[in-house]
Amino acid sequence: HFMASDDKILPGLYERSMGMLSKYPEAGLCCSDLILFNGKTTKENRMFLSEQAGYFPPRETLNLFLKEKFSPVQSSTTIVKRKALLNAGGFRPELRWSIDAFAFDVVSFREGLCYVPEALTMVRSHLGQYGERRYKERGLEREIIAKMIALVRSPQYADVLPMFKQTAPFSTLPFEVLKVAISKRENWDFISPKLLKFVAYDLLTGFMSKIMPSSLYIRAREYYRNLLKKRGSI
């Protein structure tokens, strides 16, 4: 289990996660929902992967990734099998803030995942977080995306390359993924319908944020996104 020092483990995380991994030994990891804490207020971040705790084999895991612009596996909630992590290449320092996401995506595509529909960790959210640098240093984020694309093209990841092409879970910023994919002809096969859908979604919500009051925009965006996720539209 890998999480930031300022995050918090909630009751039941290890018991529920290890129980699922014992019940489904074929799974490579177990993840759950979380609570976001900004220093003043808390908000539950639901993934809506399933109403009941269960196991998603690789084929079904692919469908989960098609509904998320980044990854349905939230790192702070993830209990991963050591062997599965090592087989995925472990954590690669050159991927910086994406080291855990990339490794967990590989494990999920190869072995499937367990999911518990409960908030089992609390994550502190603030602008000083390491991962937040991707929003300020877009050039560096594109470099990291390019490195991940090069990695999944290597022989070590030939078995999961088709899943990465369909989902392109390289960044929480789909437009930056699109820029990297467009920049080289050999990367055009990562320009999937799913990627284009989330680029359009981000552009639309970005436009809405400029014409609507911030409080109304935030409520509308969260309501719309949660509604779509419950219906499986995205």
- State the burial class of residue 109 (Cβ atoms within 10 Å of its Cβ: 0-12, 13-18, 19+): buried
**Across residues 6-35, what is the average pLDDT?**
97
pLDDT band at 228 (very low <50, low <70, confident <90, very high): low
**Global pTM?**
0.89
Distance CA 184, CA 179 (A): 9
54-85 per-position pLDDT tens digit: 999 999 999 999 988 899 999 999 999 999 99
Min mean pLDDT across 56-65, 79-88, 206-215, 225-234 is at 225-234
User: Residue 107 and residue 232: Cα distance in Å, rounded?
Assistant: 23
- Residue 190 near residue 151 (C-beta atoms within 8 A): no
The pLDDT score that the predictor gives to residue 234 is 43
Banded model confidence at residue 196, pLDDT cuts 50, 70, 90: very high
For residue range 37-55, list pLDDT tens digits in order.
988 889 888 888 999 999 9
pLDDT band at 110 (very low <50, low <70, confident <90, very high): very high
The CA distance from 61 to 126, in Å, is 30
Angle at 28 between CA 111 and CA 151, to 5 degrees: 70
Burial (CB < 10 A; 0-12, 13-18, 19+), residue 117, is middle
- Which residue, chain included where needed, has tokens 């991707």? 134
Whole-number pLDDT of residue 32: 97
Question: Checking phi first, is residue 47 left (phi over 0); if not, alpha (psi -120 to 50) or beta?
Answer: alpha
Alpha helices for 153-232 (secondary structure H) = 161-167, 174-183, 193-211, 214-231
Confidence band for 127, pLDDT divided at 50, 70 and 90? low
What pLDDT is recorded for position 233?
45
Q: Write down the pLDDT at residue 128.
A: 65
